[in-house]
Every structure is written in C-alpha cells, then in structure tokens.
Chain A
C-alpha cells in the first residue's frame, strides 16, 4: 500500500509521542499527536469517491476469474478463489445501482473482511489511504435521495472532497445475495451479460 507523508508522521509520532514541526518552532509549542485518526482507503465507483476503513480491508488484487453462481442476485459476479479460499465477488457499482466507469487496467478487487468472512468488492479504481479525524465524519444527510442512501454509513470530508463511507453490513447483507425467484428469467439475461465483463 502506498506510503504517504501522514504515514511517516504517524510512525515518527509513535516513537516520540510528540514531534515539533517547523510550524511549531515558529509558534513555540509542540503539537499533540492524534491517536484517533481513522485511516480510510479511497476508491472510485461509478464516478463517485468512496471510503472504507482499512481495518475492514484484507488486501487489494487485480480482477480475477469468477465462477458465476446461478440464482444469485445480479450484483453477485460469482465466486472467486483467493489462495484456496472461495469468496463471493460483488460488483459494487451494480450493488450501488451505479454504472461502472472503470477500465480493465484501473479496476481492482477490494478483499474485505466482514463478519469473519472474506468478500471481494470490484471497484473502478483505487486511490489513497488517508487519515481522517473523527470530527470530519458526518452522518448521512437524511434528505439524501437515491437508492444508495441505505448503503451509506457516513460522509467524510477530506482535502476538499466528500468521501462516502459505506456501511458494509448493508452492502454485504446476505439476504440480498439470492435472486428473488419470480424475476429469474429476466435477470438471467443480465447475468449472462455479466459474465462477459469479467
């Protein structure tokens, strides 16, 4: 994972508890180190910027072959195999009812740990790991319309952008993984199209 200045800052600070920066010398005090920063991975899905706590993240891989699972919901690409462990692969764009905008070279699979099981989330592209202080988080605005509202755990501001923090418990709710029986035939076609993409 990409290292960036904040990483260095954090490791230095862990070693010495407090560190004085150039700015501090000017002002004559050392500043306290934040212990409560939440580090989030930022990624894009359907043109929007999302964030996911790195605690939920096991690894990031390139897209892999998946085996389609009949009767699963449309957003389930199938099952993938990560070093011998079979995991469900989720097309996050479809799950969030967005249109994927990634290219074959930019797309990544976030392997996330949820409820002590692994899941693969296919995203358009992966960006950074950023530290976000608790006060930068805000609850999802109630007025936020759209089908995705339910998937959003919080919004976070970082470097002038708004990150959408996903609620994995909702995104990976097992009850949604099975395709409803009635619309089986209609979705089979979608499913067929799906297979071509990965």
Chain B
C-alpha cells in the first residue's frame, strides 16, 4: 500500500485541479464570446495551474510539472494583460487540458508519456507574442506607498479598472480576530456585487490587539453613495482611493512590503492574514522547480475532501444491509414474543427500542449512500469540452446550455454515464444540428443549441439532452433500416412512429451512407441503450422534424442498495428492482385479450404486452388452475414497456444486491441475489434482460405483424 500511495493520491488530486482549470477556461471562453473580461476566472485558472505545478513536482511527475510550469508563465502573462486572451489563446489552453489528461493516464499506468513538445512550443509562442508594453495608464492621485506594496498583478488590475473608467475605492474594514474568517467571507461576497476586489492590504490603523484591520481596494462602477450605503457600518468604512490619503506609514507598511517584491508573485490564498504569512514564506514560485514545494501547496490540501475507494464503501453498504437483515429478524422475534403474551412490558420496550434502532440504521444507510453521491457537474464539464471540440471539428457553432449540474447521482452511475452521454452529444452535433447555411435557410439562428439538463424526479434522476437541430426523419430511418436489411419494407409500414424511432437504437443502425467524421459509423446509439439499460435506466426519445430532438434518460439515484418489489410466482419468491417498475396493477383474468397469440391488456388506453414470469422461467405451478386475478408489473427498459405477470405481490423492501458468482451471472434474466431475513436468499430479476427477451420475441415472432403499439409511459 505504502509504495503505491503517492501516485494514487496524486492522480485524482491532479485530475481535480485540471478539472477546475478546465471549468475556468470554459468561463473564460463564455466571457470572451460575450466580450467581457473575467479577471477572476483567469486568476483562478492561474492558481490551479500553480497548484498543479507544485503537486507534480512533489510527486516527481516530470512532464506534468514541465507543462504546468510553461502554462503558468503563459497564464501569468495573460492575467497581467501582456498577452491578449482570444479564441486562439483559449485553443492552446484547452489543448493543455487534453494533454494533462493524457499525461495523467500515462502517469497512472506508469507508461511512456506522450510528447508534449509541440504543445510547449505553442504555449511558448503565446508568451513570445507579448504585447508591446502598453504605456502604463497613469494613476493620478494614487499614492506611491500603495503602488509600492501591490504585486504586479494587482497593479495591473488597478490600472485596468482605472482604464475602464471605474471608480477606485479603499474599503477599510476592522474585524474581531476571532471572527475574521466569517467576517471577511461575508464582506467579500458583498464587495463582489459592486465590482472587482483588487487586493486586501493589512492596515496599520488597528485600534486594538484583538482586532485586525484591512484595506481593501475595490474597482466599481457604482457611486460612492451606493457603495457606502451597502457596506458602511459594523467596522467598515468606504473612501474613494484617488482623493483620499493613502494608508498611513507604519508597521503595517513594512510588513506589507515583504510580500510585494517579485514580478512573479505566487497566488494569494483567500484569507488575507494567513496569506501574508504564507506568501512571505513561499517567496518566488521558481523555487518549486528545484524540487522544493511552496508551503502553501504542500501543506494545505486543495479541497477538504477524503478520497475513499468505492470498494470500501460497498463493504460498508453490505454491512449495513446485513444489519438491516438482522434487524428484520429481530423485529420478527419480538413480534412473536408479543403475540405469545409473555412479559408484555419487556416486549413492548424491546419493540420501541428496535424502532429507534431501525431509524438510526436507515439514517446510517442514507449517510453512506450520500457519501457515494457526486454532482453531475463533473460529467457536464467534460461534455462541455467535448461539445466545444466536436463543434469546431464539424464546423458548426454550438451554444451549450447546462442546468441541474448540482444534481447528485451515485459515483458508479456517473462514471457509467459519461460514455453514453458522449455518444448522444456526438449524435446531436453530427446528425442533429444542421450546418450554418442550412439553419439560416430554414429560418433558425445560425448558432445551434444543445441543452444538457438534469433534475431529480422522486427517487430517480432525469437527464435530458436536447438539440434544436433537424430532428429524426422517420422516412429516412425506414429507408435506412431497409437498406441495411434490418427489416422488410412491409414490416416497417406497420410500425408506429415510436417503433420506428426505436430503430435508431439497433446495433449497426445509421442513416448515413458514409461514416461522418464524428459519428455515423453505426456504433453509438446501441451502446447508449446498452449502457443505460445496464444502469436500470429508461430512455425516451422525443423528436419533431425540423425542430429538434430530446433524449431523456431516467436513472435510479443509486445502485448499491435498491428498493425492490417482492413478488411470488409458482411458489417461488423474487425481487424486482423498483426503479425499473413503472407501476403494478391487479387485473381480472377477463381483462386479458389475445392479439395474434400474445396476451395483452389495455392500460391507460394503450396496449401492454404481457409476459408470465412463471412461463419465462419454466416454473411449474402446484395447481394448474388459472388465477381469477393476476398482478401485472409494468416494467420498462429503454423505450419498451412490458407487463410482467406474477401470482402475488409481497411488498417493498430495501435490499442489498449480492453477486451470484461469475458462473451464474450469465443466466439470462437474473441480476443477482439478496437476503430477505430469516436466512432466505431470493433472486433479483434482471428486468432489462427479461424485457429484451419479451420484446425480441414480439418483434421477431408472429406478433410482429400485429398492430401492437408498445405501451409508452409518460
């Protein structure tokens, strides 16, 4: 363990930093398009790369350190305004994100690093293109003593603010030493509403030992009266910087000078008092290259997180599941004790205690589940990068809208989602969004729109990928299906539009006659369907020709512990994952109709094909008599709906999924096993496989020719 530890810590941490960097680049790009400046994002990008450089040096990841060093220089030049930030510059920076990803993969695999020399050359050429020194904007009225303590970056920002015609304010704030963290955070948020915080300077005006005074330089378009009205009070004063006297000379001044020296000042942590100390020790960041690491990098972790192997969480989850089982058994015993009527006081007490215990256990279970949750933002960020790249490659301009990135899903599901989402996005860009000319011709805005949305609906998460492209042309789909020999023409004529759309999920299906640069190779949508089904997800397609397509994926929030419907058929008990159950209904046997040999019922005005679990599994009933009533469990897989017929519903339970071993894993229709207490082990059905079987039978079997509309739930 100890020998592998450094790398296992390095790679994820570095990945996190690179992700942060990439997020900042996306912000910068959005700002650049909108024609505004985003100095904070730029500075944050710089800070991220600075941290990465330190990390890489600490873990002796040579090429990553080299690249981040070179990048840091470029970003420094950018934030100082020496190099213009434009689309070309951003391209180079985005390229660096990809390179970091490749380098990290190589580092983790202990493999040869891909060459970064061309990229380094491009980065260097960026820095080489330094603007001819702009004649420094005069800052009339700003005292030299203030300019003297500013870093080059801060001074640059000060001049920029002045050049943009903003008013410069000196906000003097006094904080209680004990409450300073909270105080500064609060003030910072309020300040940011008014403009840009250029710097925090320690002030010598401190009135008492237990207080810390700060001078904050703020650039704002707001009037003094507005700023004062919002900020003044509670130890805060606002003065215009230009007319006012500079901070007084004194102890604070000399202290301040100690961190203002170099051109290449390291980033400043957000909390000023600590920042002064840390940066003073850190000095010039060049020392990082000598194998030493600036203390602000090595001592503090970037985030307050603990990384835990998912396997260890699974173990915890399993244990909790077993506690749950033990508890259910206990409840059962107490119940019997009570019914026997002996020691009524004691048994009442016991059952009360047990109820408390079960509440705690379910809280514990929820807690562990929560730990596994990660926001979808992680995937969305990656996708934003993909869209940017693919759009450029396809020569289409695309605006991406993202919402619900804070929606959380089980880490495992999020990981499994990246690929299908990527395929869907590729599809949107390649097939969905038209070329600029085509869009203009049909009266649409030239810039295509792709929306990524996520939201929670009950115990499920819905993910939507929407584009405003040309939609799916059913005629084209039909033609293509015939051309590829997937279906006969006469079969297709009988299919409902929904069934035709489903054809895009068939392996090998494509409407393109020649593979496109991005997709159209006939792999993609079937992969999407497979992956989503594996996660017990449901996929729906909504399309309007000429208007666009929406794919929506409905997913369970977690996979480790699932809610299951306990059913019985032919004397055997099974569990069905509740997240693939859409509803369950009781039907009289008279309601069953037969359509061309296949049993169906009508539910919500639609025809739902039935499929008897006992028959699927060749289970023999003890009595041959048909039940007068049956239970129909409506299950869904991707876009299909099937009614699974069972003898009895026994209720709902939270169950821990257990593997039934590799030998039995290939048994179709069985996903795993679970314990139901009392040492009873029951099988968990693989609804995806069962539906696939049922649907496959219907499409290829005799029922295919019947006008059978597959039930399509809302």
Contacts and interface: CB of A to CB of B under 8 A. Distances in A.
B667 A72 contact: yes
Interface stretch (B397-405, B499-507, B657-665): B657-665
B661 A87 contact: yes
Interface stretch (B26-34, B79-87, B150-158, B673-681): B673-681
A181 to B, nearest CB: 9
Interface in A77-123: 79-81, 84-88, 115, 117-119
Q: Which label, helix, strand, loop or mixed, suits the secondary structure of the A interface?
A: mixed
Interface residues of B, number: 29
Contacts of B661: 86-88, 117-119
Contact of A177 (B617, B666, B682): B666
A86 B658 contact: yes
A117 B617 CA distance: 26
B664 A81 contact: no
Interface in A44-87: 65, 67-72, 76, 79-81, 84-87
A154 interface: no
B148 interface: no
Contacts of B664: 69, 72, 76, 79, 88, 174, 177-178
A189 B620 CA distance: 8
Contacts of A184: 618
B262 interface: no
Contacts of B666: 174-175, 177-178
A15 interface: no
A185 interface: yes
B619 A86 contact: no
A172 B670 contact: no
A155 interface: no
A192 interface: yes
Interface in B666-698: 666-670, 672-673, 675, 679-683
Nearest to B325: A84
A172 B620 contact: no
Nearest to B321: A84
Contact of B663 (A67, A71, A80, A174): A174
B143 interface: no
A115 B667 contact: no
Contact of B673 (A67, A71, A177, A189): A67
A188 B662 contact: no
A134 B24 CA distance: 67
A79 B673 contact: yes
Interface in A3-47: none
Contact of A188 (B322, B618, B663): B618
A70 B681 contact: no
B544 interface: no
Nearest to B658: A86
A175 B667 CA distance: 10
A69 B675 contact: no
Contacts of A192: 620
A180 B144 CA distance: 89
Contacts of B660: 69, 79, 86, 88
Contacts of B670: 69-71
A84 B673 contact: no
Contacts of A187: 618
A115 B683 CA distance: 23
Nearest to B685: A70
Interface in B594-638: 616-620
B86 to A, nearest CB: 56
Contacts of B665: 174
Contact of A69 (B318, B616, B683): B683
Contact of A84 (B616, B675, B680, B682): B675
Contact of A67 (B619, B668, B669, B682): B682
B658 A71 contact: no
A151 to B, nearest CB: 15
Contacts of B673: 67, 79, 86
A71 B661 CA distance: 15
A150 B322 CA distance: 40
Instruction: Specify which of B322, B617, B662, B663 lies most central, judged by the most chain A CB atoms within 10 Å of its CB.
Output: B663
Nearest to A191: B618
Given A67-B673, A69-B670, A192-B620, A80 B681 contact: yes
Contacts of A189: 620
Contacts of A70: 616-619, 667, 669-670, 683
B667 A174 contact: no
Nearest to A67: B681
Interface string B256-287: 00000000000000000000000000000000
B675 A81 contact: yes
Contacts of A117: 661-663
Nearest to A85: B658
Contact of B620 (A81, A84, A188): A188
Contacts of A72: 664, 667
| Max chain B C-beta neighbours (<10 A), residue from A68, A84, A184 | A84
A102 B646 CA distance: 37
B115 interface: no
Contacts of B618: 70-71, 184-185, 187-188, 191
Contacts of B682: 67
B457 to A, nearest CB: 33
Contacts of A115: 662
A65 B659 CA distance: 18
A192 B493 CA distance: 45
Nearest to B318: A84
B683 A177 contact: no
Nearest to A179: B667
Contacts of B572: 67-68
A178 B662 CA distance: 11
Contact of B667 (A71, A81, A191): A71
Contacts of A175: 666
A195 to B, nearest CB: 9
B679 A86 contact: no
Interface in A131-172: 172
B568 to A, nearest CB: 13
A172 B661 CA distance: 11
Contacts of A80: 681
A51 to B, nearest CB: 22
B495 to A, nearest CB: 27
A191 B619 CA distance: 9
Nearest to B669: A71
A80 B658 CA distance: 12
Contacts of A174: 662-666
Contacts of B675: 81, 84
List the 3 shortest-distance A-B pairs measured between CB atoms, nearest first: A70-B617, A174-B663, A188-B618
29 contacts: A67-B572, A67-B673, A67-B682, A69-B683, A70-B616, A70-B617, A70-B619, A70-B667, A70-B669, A72-B664, A79-B660, A81-B681, A84-B675, A85-B658, A86-B659, A86-B660, A86-B681, A88-B664, A115-B662, A117-B662, A119-B663, A174-B662, A174-B665, A178-B666, A185-B618, A188-B618, A189-B620, A191-B618, A192-B620
Given A65-B679, A69-B667, A185-B618, 12 more contacts: A68-B572, A70-B669, A72-B664, A79-B660, A79-B681, A80-B681, A84-B675, A86-B658, A88-B663, A172-B663, A184-B618, A191-B618
Interface of A: 65, 67-72, 76, 79-81, 84-88, 115, 117-119, 172-175, 177-178, 184-185, 187-189, 191-192
